């Protein structure tokens, strides 16, 4: 296996201020804050109590605006926006929605807004949203009004790429991992569960599959053009030619402009495997990546293998992996971590955080070497986004 | 006409349980409701004009399943939620 890597660590200043964790749960959203020591945490919330909040994100361009994708079990999907870091919220005037179908035809209905991504820094009011079922939406006014990205949603291959409803995740097929190339606002990636990874070079007008080399073990053809199940795809912000994905069928890395995924999870311990949901990148070193493996054997329990939870880190782009379980339960720890529920801060050393479906948040302020549980008894956690409160 | 608002939607209309709306059909009444209380319609009616799952709309005590139901000024519209899940 040949992996081209950038061995040098890109030099950029580490953050030194406080950190906030934006926590989205099945019953509302919470914000955890800590100071630069990252030792004691203060919790605020719940916000949107009783709403299913799939994702909450800070706008990295103004560092004040928060967006949250929410619905309740009974009300339709929407997006909320805060311009004061969560003190007050305003609902989008026009949430993401598919166009009304012509009379006599069945139209698509957004079930929930699953993923939010800020646009390119050169487009400070642009946001993207991914929905269930798979839909891509764009806002050009900071998240107040949303329009379908027709180039994807109405693509002639949409039905083939996205498959049927049976091909999705248990609570609906999803479009996620909307990535904007920091070098070019027109260059976008998306991930779909299921569907695979797709790329646009013209701001969403045209799309092509980007799944070469990625295995599918649930289809007759193990290397199809599309139909894959990427769980989480990341692009390194300082080395945007490097992509990683935690896939349903392993951990992969891609070096652009080549378009071939290389499986880097084969060097994981065989008893652990390389199945999981989240994947987290070091903010300054594109060769350092964390994953949180889960049991993908047999009937897919989706819990920590053998009940012994651990993160795994590679510092050489996947050639080798090290287990990181100090502080985590040594046995009978059946944790499940969803695809948006693990993230990193920008400190030195980097802080790593993950939330579980059992309502716990675990934190490491030394890049995974030691873990501490900083919250228990929260609702089922869907997303944990670490963000800096100051540099 | 009077429109009864269920608790999950009252945040849109100042926590009132009953509001006024006008229109010759249910679709027009809901559009008027949305003009008065922006955003309320989409939480109960999807983009294909379907009444969302768990939402129930009654006109003078009779459940309706489509939005083209004619309405009179003295009709009463009741929006309810059939809650389920955990």
pLDDT in tens, A230-244: 999 999 999 999 999
The model's pTM = 0.94
Q: What is the interface size between A and B, counted as CB pairs within 8 Å? A: 52
For residue A349, the tally of other CB atoms under 10 A from its CB is: 14
Convert A352-380 to b/e letters by CB count within 10 Å (16 or more is b): bbbbbbbbbbbbbbebbeebeebbeebbb
pLDDT tens digits for range A186-215 = 999 999 998 999 999 999 999 999 999 999
* Mean pLDDT along residues A93-107: 95
Token pair in block for residue A73: 């079990």
Q: How far apart are CA B9 and CA A307, in angstroms?
A: 42
pLDDT tens digits for range A313-369 = 999 999 999 999 999 999 999 999 999 999 999 999 999 999 999 999 999 999 999
Q: Work out the burial of residue B70: count CB atoms within 10 Å of its CB; fewer than 13 is exposed, 13-18 middle, 19 or more buried.
A: exposed
Contact B44 A72 (CB under 8 A): no
Q: Please name the member of B42, B47, B52 whose beta carbon is closest to the beta carbon of A98.
A: B47
Give domain status of residue A180, yes or no.
yes
pLDDT at B83 over 80: no
pLDDT for res A391:
63
User: At the fourth CATH level, which superfamily is domain B2-81?
Assistant: Beta-grasp domain (3.10.20.30)
pLDDT for res A7:
47
Q: What residue numbers bound the domain in which A244 lies?
A: 19-96+107-388
The answer to whether residue A76 neighbours chain B at the CB level (below 8 Å) is: yes
Share above pLDDT 90 across residues of chain A, in percent, rounded to a whole number: 88
Q: Is the peptide bond before A195 cis (omega within 30 degrees of 0)?
A: no
Give domain status of residue A5, yes or no.
no
pLDDT at A122 over 90: yes
Which of A6-20, A66-80, A129-143 is least confident? Answer: A6-20
Q: Report chain A residues whose CB lies below 8 A from the CB of B39.
A: 78, 91-93
pLDDT at B29 over 70: yes
Q: How far apart are CA B4 and CA B68, in angstroms?
A: 19
How high does pLDDT run on average in chain A? 94
Q: Report chain A residues whose CB lies below 8 A from the CB of B85.
A: 73-74
Q: How far apart are CA B39 and CA A289, in angstroms?
A: 41
Q: How far apart are CA A197 and CA A179, in angstroms?
A: 11
Give domain status of residue A90, yes or no.
yes
ipTM: 0.89
Q: Report chain A residues whose CB lies below 8 A from the CB of B38.
A: 93
Share above pLDDT 70 across residues of chain B, in percent, rounded to a whole number: 98
Q: Work out the burial of residue A201: count CB atoms within 10 Å of its CB; fewer than 13 is exposed, 13-18 middle, 19 or more buried.
A: middle
Token pair in block for residue A325: 């379980």
DSSP assignment string, A259-318:
--EEE-GGGS-TTT-S-EEEEEE-SS-TT-EEEEE---STT---S-GGG---EEEESSTT
Answer whether A70's CB lies under 8 Å from A81's CB.
no
Q: How far apart are CA A301 and CA A271, in angstroms?
A: 15
In Å, how far are A52, A239, A302 from A334, measured between CA atoms?
23, 35, 9
Q: Report chain B residues whose CB lies below 8 A from the CB of A99.
A: 47
pLDDT tens digits for range A282-292 = 999 999 999 99
Q: How far apart are CA A88 and CA B28, in angstroms?
A: 32
Percentages of chain A per state (helix, strand, coil), in multiples of 5: 5, 40, 60
Q: Could you tell me the sign of the dihedral formed by the alpha carbons of A269, A270, A272, A273, in that order? A: positive
Q: Report chain B residues whose CB lies below 8 A from the CB of A95.
A: 42
Q: CA of B8 to nearest chain A CA: how many angstroms apart?
A: 8
Q: How far apart are CA B5 and CA B15, in angstroms?
A: 9
pLDDT tens digits for range A134-177 = 999 999 999 999 999 999 999 999 999 998 766 777 788 999 99
pLDDT for res A267:
96
pLDDT class for A382, splitting at 50, 70, 90? Answer: very high
Give domain status of residue A204, yes or no.
yes
Give domain status of residue A275, yes or no.
yes
Backbone angles phi, psi at A152, to 5 degrees: -100, -55
pLDDT at A11 over 50: no
pLDDT tens digits for range A38-51 = 999 999 999 999 99
Q: Single out the residue of A9, A131, A118 nearest to residue A70, CA to CA.
A: A131
Share above pLDDT 70 across residues of chain A, in percent, rounded to a whole number: 96
Give the CA angle between residues A237, A240, A242 to the nearest 5°: 115
Residue in A closest to B9 by C-alpha: A75
pLDDT at A58 over 90: yes
Which ranges constitute the DSSP H helices of B1-82? 26-36, 40-44
Give domain status of residue A11, yes or no.
no
Residue in B closest to A145 by C-alpha: B39
* Mean pLDDT along residues A293-298: 90
pLDDT at A8 over 60: no
Q: How far apart are CA B50 and CA B30, in angstroms?
A: 12
Number of domains in chain A: 1
Residues in chain A: 391
Q: Work out the burial of residue A37: count CB atoms within 10 Å of its CB; fewer than 13 is exposed, 13-18 middle, 19 or more buried.
A: exposed
Q: What is the CATH number of the domain that holds A82?
A: 2.130.10.10
Q: Report chain B residues whose CB lies below 8 A from the CB of A98.
A: 47-48
pLDDT for res A10:
47
pLDDT for res A164:
74
pLDDT class for A299, splitting at 50, 70, 90? Answer: confident
Contact A74 B42 (CB under 8 A): no
Q: CA of B70 to nearest chain A CA: how many angstroms apart?
A: 20
Q: How far apart are CA A176 and CA A191, in angstroms?
A: 5
pLDDT for res A315:
98
Give the CA angle between residues A161, A164, A169 to the nearest 5°: 95
Q: Which residues contact B41 (CB under 8 A, 6 or more apart)?
A: B30, B31, B33, B34
The answer to whether residue A372 neighbours chain B at the CB level (below 8 Å) is: no
pLDDT class for B18, splitting at 50, 70, 90? Answer: very high
Name the DSSP letter for residue A367: T
- Would you list the domain boundaries of chain B? 2-81
Give domain status of residue A232, yes or no.
yes
Q: Work out the burial of residue A97: count CB atoms within 10 Å of its CB; fewer than 13 is exposed, 13-18 middle, 19 or more buried.
A: buried
The answer to whether residue B81 neighbours chain A at the CB level (below 8 Å) is: yes
* Mean pLDDT along residues B35-60: 95
């Amino acid at each position: 296996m040949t992996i081209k890597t950038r061995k040098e660590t890109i030099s950029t200043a580490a953050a030194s201020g406080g950190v906030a964790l934006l926590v989205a749960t099945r019953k509302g959203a919470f914000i955890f804050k800590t100071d630069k020591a990252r030792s004691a945490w203060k919790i605020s919330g719940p916000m949107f109590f009783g709403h299913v909040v799939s994702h909450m994100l800070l706008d990295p361009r103004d560092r004040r605006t928060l967006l949250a994708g929410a619905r309740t079990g009974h009300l339709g999907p929407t997006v909320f926006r805060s311009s004061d870091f969560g003190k007050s919220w305003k609902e989008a005037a026009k949430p993401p929605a598919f166009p009304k179908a012509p009379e006599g035809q069945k139209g698509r209905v957004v079930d929930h807004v699953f993923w939010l991504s800020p646009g390119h820094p050169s487009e400070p009011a642009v946001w993207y949203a991914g929905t269930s079922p798979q839909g891509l939406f764009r806002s050009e006014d900071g998240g107040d009004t949303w329009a379908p990205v027709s180039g994807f949603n109405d693509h002639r291959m949409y039905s083939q790429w996205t498959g049927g409803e049976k091909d999705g995740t248990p609570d609906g097929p999803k479009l996620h991992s909307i990535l904007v190339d920091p070098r070019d606002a027109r260059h976008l990636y998306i991930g779909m569960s299921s569907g695979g990874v797709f790329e646009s070079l013209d701001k969403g007008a045209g799309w092509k599959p980007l799944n070469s080399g990625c295995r599918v073990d649930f289809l007759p053809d193990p290397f199809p053009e599309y139909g894959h199940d990427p769980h989480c795809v990341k692009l390194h912000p300082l080395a945007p030619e490097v992509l990683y994905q935690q896939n349903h069928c392993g951990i992969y890395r891609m070096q652009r402009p080549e378009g071939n995924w290389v499986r880097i999870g084969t060097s994981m311990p065989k008893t652990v495997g390389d199945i999981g949901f989240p994947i987290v990148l070091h903010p300054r070193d594109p060769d350092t990546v964390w994953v949180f493996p889960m049991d993908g054997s047999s009937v897919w329990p989706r819990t920590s293998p053998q009940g012994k939870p651990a993160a795994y880190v590679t510092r050489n782009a996947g050639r080798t992996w090290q287990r990181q379980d100090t502080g985590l339960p040594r046995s009978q720890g059946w944790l499940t971590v969803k695809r948006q529920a693990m993230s990193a801060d920008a400190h030195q050393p980097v802080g790593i955080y993950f939330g579980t479906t059992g309502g716990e948040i675990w934190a490491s302020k030394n890049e995974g070497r030691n873990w501490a549980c900083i919250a228990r008894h929260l609702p089922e956690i869907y997303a944990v986004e670490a963000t800096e409160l100051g540099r | 006409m009077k429109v009864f608002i269920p608790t999950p939607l009252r945040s849109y209309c100042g926590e009132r349980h009953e509001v006024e709306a006008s229109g010759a059909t249910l679709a027009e009444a809901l559009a008027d409701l949305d003009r008065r209380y922006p955003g309320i319609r989409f939480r109960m009616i999807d983009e294909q004009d379907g009444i969302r799952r768990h939402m129930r709309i009654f006109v003078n005590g009779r459940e309706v399943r489509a939005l083209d139901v004619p309405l009179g000024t003295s009709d009463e519209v009741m929006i309810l939620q059939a809650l389920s899940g955990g």
